[in-house]
Amino acid sequence: MKRLVQRFFDAQRPRFTEGGRLARLYPFFDAMETVFFAPAHTTGIGPHVRDNLDVKRFMTLVIVCLLPHLFFGMYNVGYQSLTATGRSPDFLPACLIGLKAVLPMVIVTYAVGFFWEILFAAVRRHTISEGLFVTCMLFPLTLPPTTPLWQVAMGITFGIVIGKEVFGGTGRNFLNPALTGRAFLFFAYPVRMSGDAVWTYMGGQAAVDGFSGATPLALAAAAEGQEVVHTVLNQAGYDLWTLFLGRYAGSIGATSTLLCLVGAVALIAMGIASYRTIVGGVLGMLATGALLNLFAGPGTSPWLALNPVYHLVMGGAAFGLAYMATDPVSSPDMESARWLYGFLIGVLTVLIRVFNPAFPEGVMLAILFMNVFAPLLDHFIIKARLKRRMANT
Amino acid sequence: MNTLHVSKGYDLPLTGRPGTDLDVLPRPSRVALLPEHIPFIKPKLLVKEGDAISCGTPLFHDKRHPRVRFLSPGGGIIDAIEFGPRRVIRRVVIRLDETEAAESFQRFEEGQLRQTDRSALVEALLDGGLWPLLHALPFRDYPDPETQPPAIIVSLGDDEPFQADPAVYLAGRQDLFGYGMQVLARLAPQVFVSAPAGAGDALQAVSPWITHTVSGPYPALDPGVFLYRTRRSPADNRTWFVRGQDLLLMAGLLRDGRYPTERIVAIGGPATQRRRHAITRMGAPLKSMAETTAEASVRRVVGGVLRGFTGDADGYLGFHETALNLLPAGDQREFLAFVRPGTRKPSFSRTFLSALNRHRLPMDCNLHGELRPCVACNACMQVCPVEIMPQLTFKSLLADDIEEALAHGLLDCVECGLCSYVCPAKIELCDHFTRAKRRYHQEQTAA
Ligand code: SF4
Ligand code: SF4
């Protein structure tokens, strides 16, 4: 196996190197080859030894944590599709339907994402950063399963070109590219991206009578004055446990709070995600939810009375906190700023949900908003830190 | 005695620590001086190939301070003067003869040191070629002989993997050390001696002089870290330091009136077969110093594995270095490296199973990755012993904003190399800082 792969790459190399027909695409060749073979580069200057961790492994581990979301998402899309069309939601058929709905979106995302990245890498003459692999995995997981492929292509294009490359590429971007793409679709195609119909993949079948397709977020937002919001959710089958496990209609990969929890714990344990951001975010949501409870009463929005824990398990909040808010490049650099950053994301998520029902998916806007403010948070903390430092000039 | 605990830093879990047994290496046939590896100097040769010289004959001086000269570590004939690119003098090689004539220098009786003029000692150190064993923080250049420091730090022991053990090089030399301390007391109003905590009986003989015991991970024993933790005012930033073994050389010169060349060298690293200490001399050839293990190709690092330089198989020890570490070259490609669980792949992060492996592990010179843009993982910030934020300081340097880099503490950087070591994006942070500091120093001294 190793021999075969090596021979293949050795045979292809001349085409991509100086003088070869595809020399401009060397970054692509390099990205592919280094997936299989860690390069033999050695340290040119001291320190003579280096840590084994590289960006490739760093990003691969994030992808490994995202894969369960992809698989569960496929199953869930199929399951929702089968129940909505009145068929029996068996495991295998559900998986197959989900595969059919989701896989093309993933493939399109990667193909289009790679296209842009290689284009910029070739023009700028740098290598492809593995962050792309994560962006392209995250992006489809945040989409409704019915998103047409051309929109998928538009979204990832926007995310990569506007969210990242115009700022100078990976590492210089201050917005999370996957979320930028997602937000673009939300605002550019509001009809396709919201409403009750988009969250369930029908696969050409008709819905059963009485099927509404409303997500928990939509239901909670629409609950009328006197109704108790929990009752509404429960009646629709959205009890806390279902919401936590994630078997309900929503974005492809973002419904399961359980998987988010597992992924977050794994990322924190490996030191990849900042626990400060995540814990800060959870606290922010709970605190805001609890505070709003105090204002709940007859005549106010039913959202105010929602048990704060529901905020955590509904919609994409957990997914956003675990995988998007923790993107280190678009987070503040300072560890202490990350507490506040996470906390404010939590606060904003709940506030947007409650006070602007047009955007039930508050977490997306909350994170992008805080991405913009991350440098400001850093600025104050760094200033305070440098003030304490004894001058040495 | 004060204790100082440094919490930031990182101990590389590297195998290959040299044992404390001490070999005596046979007398070499050649020794050399490597101007290329003495930072900052602009050498002007005073000899040419074929000249007959004694041990202690000046070979070159520094054009910046012609009083600062570098002497021959042996007597015989100048065998070769080798130049590198842009006429950099790489090395001056001396073929030793049997008799090895030696220059003589002014001697100072121990009892008289107290009455001796400071300037007489400075002159004697300049004449005797050992002035450059003193270093002035923050740049680590040798100090301007015209200046006086607020204090001098004597650092016993260096926790970089792997440097000579003070217990080995101080054994039986406490008198010489005491002599050296008296010299330093004439040079600076205050002298600190820092030693590793927990050395126990090993440093008993010199314990009356120790002012601070220091604990903590590498580079806790670095004089720059010591200064960072103990300085009281910005004026302290110009403190000088001298390494323990170098102080012995200075003391030997002034006490005996001869140019001392004995060096005790640590020989270690995972690719070395017999890891030990050895008595040899300044500028000794690397060739017969260490036997390699079965490794296919090996890198000879003169100095520690984080700060040393790469020596060739037929290279020599430098003026400052007292360690030789052999590492596997690591120049092979690894198949599917990024998905391996990595129980034997050491990492500062917790992304390999080696996080659960408490054993020390071999490391090689592979970069383990490719240069990438910073992913803001903050590992560099977590290890920096002097609380610099390397990723941000690096960005200011990229933007050519030296003022901002200075505000970030660039000059406090002790050039330990840890930030470069941990960086998953393989950014040469430490090298950027070291070079920025050097540029700044050169601009300052030129002005
Ligand atoms: S910035 Fe300097 S002192 Fe800090 S870790 Fe890097 S090399 Fe060491
Ligand atoms: S270790 Fe490297 S990648 Fe991580 S923050 Fe520092 S410079 Fe950036």
Q: Looking at the partner chain, which of B307, B333, B373 has a beta carbon nearest the beta carbon of A40?
A: B333
Final residue belonging to a domain, choices B329, B358, B392? B329
Atom of ligand 2 nearest to the CA of B394: 7
Q: What does the angle CA B251 – CA B253 – CA B257 come to, to the nearest 5 degrees?
A: 130
Examine residue B310 and state whether it is found in any structural domain, yes or no.
yes
Q: Do B379 and B316 fall within a single domain?
A: no
Structure confidence at residue A208 (pLDDT): 78
For residue B229, what pLDDT band results from cuts at 50, 70 and 90? very high
Percent of chain A with pLDDT over 90: 51
Strands B191-196 and A37-38: unpaired
Is B367 in contact with A333 (Cβ distance < 8 A)?
no
Q: Residue B271: its pLDDT value, please?
A: 92
Residue at token pair 């695409």:
A25
Cβ distance B371 to A127 less than 8 Å, yes or no, reads yes
Q: Which domain holds residue B121?
A: 1-26+104-329
Question: What is the per-residue pLDDT across A182-241, written as a single tens digit (0 to 9) for each?
Answer: 999 988 887 766 677 778 888 777 777 777 777 887 777 777 655 567 777 777 778 888
Confidence bin at B156 (pLDDT 50/70/90): very high
Tens of pLDDT, residues B115-134: 999 999 999 999 999 999 99
pTM of the shown model: 0.93
**Cβ neighbours of residue A374 closer than 8 Å, sequence gap 6 or more:** A174, A330, A331, A332, A337, A341
Give the Å distance between the CA of B242 and the centre of ligand 1. 20
- Counting the structural domains of chain B, the total is 2
Q: How confident is the model at residue A179 (pLDDT cuts 50, 70, 90)?
A: very high
For residue B263, being part of any structural domain is answered with yes
- Which residue bears the tokens 């992008």? A368
Distance from CA of A260 to the nearest CA of B (A): 19
- Residues B393, B270, single domain; the answer is no
pLDDT reading at B225 higher than 70:
yes
Tell me which residue has tokens 């080696």.
Answer: B354
Q: Give the residue with greater pLDDT, B180 vs A126.
A: B180
Average pLDDT, chain A: 87
Pocket around ligand 2 at a 6 A CB cut-off = B 374-380, 390-391, 422-425, 427, 429
Q: Do B294 and B399 reside in the same domain of the chain?
A: no
Question: pLDDT grade, residue B82 (50/70/90)?
Answer: very high
Residues B139 and B278 in one domain: yes
Ligand 1 within 6 A of CB of B384: yes
Whether pLDDT at A10 is above 70 = yes
Contact: A54, B372; criterion CB under 8 Å = yes
Partner residue facing B406 (CB), from A130, A331, A393? A393
Mean pLDDT rounded to a whole number for chain B: 93
- Whether residues B256 and B183 fall in one domain: yes
pLDDT of residue A225: 58
CA distance to partner chain A, nearest, from residue B340 (Å)? 9
pLDDT at A248: 87
Strand order in the sheet with B76-83: B30-33, B89-96, B76-83, B52-53
- A137's CB contacts (< 8 A; 6+ apart) are A62, A63, A66, A70, A106
Q: Is residue B358 part of a domain?
A: no
Domain final residue pick, B329, B355, B375: B329
Closest partner CB to B331 (pick from A42, A48, A389): A42
- CA B338 to chain CA centroid, nearest Å: 34
* pLDDT per position as a tens digit, B235-292: 999 999 999 999 999 999 999 999 999 999 999 999 998 999 999 999 999 987 887 7
Averaged pLDDT for residues B200-206 = 83
**Max Cα-Cα span within chain B:** 69
* Residue B221 falls inside a structural domain: yes
Q: What is the largest CA-CA distance in chain A?
A: 76
Give pLDDT tens digits for A252-270. 999 999 999 999 999 999 9
How far does A74 lie from chain B, in Å, by closest CA?
Answer: 24
Give the pLDDT of residue A155.
96
Residues B190 and B272 in one domain: yes
Which band of pLDDT confidence, cut at 50, 70 and 90, is reported for residue A357? low
Residue nearest ligand 1's atom 6 by CA: B419
What is the residue-wise DSSP string for A355-369?
Answer: H-TT---HHHHHHHH
Question: Does A338 have pLDDT greater than 80?
Answer: yes
- Asked if B148 and B227 sit in the same domain, the reply is yes
Do B318 and B396 fall within a single domain? no
- The whole-angstrom separation of Cα A368 and Cα A37 is 36
Q: How does strand B58-62 pair with strand B65-71?
A: antiparallel
Spell out which residues of chain B touch residue A391, defining contact as CB-CB under 8 Å.
234
At A224 the pLDDT is 65
Residues B371, B317, single domain; the answer is no
pLDDT of residue A368: 94
Residue of B nearest to A128 (CA): B372
What pLDDT is recorded for position A358?
A: 63
Decide whether any atom of ligand 1 lies within 6 Å of the B414 Cβ: yes
B220-231 average pLDDT score:
96
Q: Over 70: is that where the pLDDT of B401 sits?
A: yes
- Residue A360: predicted pLDDT: 62
What amino acid occupies position A200? T
Question: Is residue B419 within 6 Å of ligand 1 at its C-beta?
Answer: yes
- What whole-number distance in Å separates Cα of residue B369 and Cα of residue B42? 36
Secondary structure class of B71 (helix, strand, coil) = strand
d(CA A379, CA A377): 5
pLDDT (tens digit per residue) in A21-78: 777 777 777 777 777 777 778 888 889 999 999 999 999 999 999 999 999 999 999 9
By CB atoms closer than 10 A (0-12, 13-18, 19+), residue B234 is: exposed
- Does residue B34 lie within any of the structural domains? no
Read off the pLDDT of each residue in A260-285 and give the average, rounded to a whole number.
96
B42: in domain: no
Alpha-carbon gap: A332 to the closest alpha carbon of chain B (Å): 9
List the alpha helices (DSSP H) in B85-165. Answer: 118-127
State the pLDDT at residue B342.
83
Quote the percentage of chain B above a pLDDT of 90. Answer: 84
Which residue's structure tokens are 């100072």?
Answer: B108
Residue showing tokens 């950053």: A341
Question: Which ligand number lies closest to the CA of residue B387?
Answer: 1
Check whether residue B159 and residue B258 sit in a common domain.
Answer: yes
From chain A, the residues in CB contact with B300 under 8 A are: none
**DSSP one-letter code for A390:** P
Most confident of the following: A128-137, A224-233, A276-285, B368-377: A276-285
Residue B258, both tokens: 């001869």
d(CA A170, CA A132): 8
Q: B215 and B135 in one domain?
A: yes
Ligand 1 midpoint to CA B177 (Å) = 31
The predicted pLDDT at position A87 comes to 86
Looking at residue A149, what DSSP letter applies? H
What's the B307 CA to ligand 1 centre distance in angstroms? 12
- What pLDDT sits at residue A192? 67
B389/A382 CB distance under 8 A = yes
Residue of A nearest to B402 (CA): A393
Q: Which pLDDT belongs to residue B295? A: 63
**Best of B237, B305, B368, B444 to disrupt the A interface by mutation (most A CBs within 10 Å)?**
B368
Q: Is residue B77 part of a domain?
A: no
Query: Of B329, B351, B377, which residue constitutes the final position of a domain?
Result: B329
Residue A62, pLDDT score: 95
Instruction: Judge if B391 and B280 occupy the same domain.
Output: no
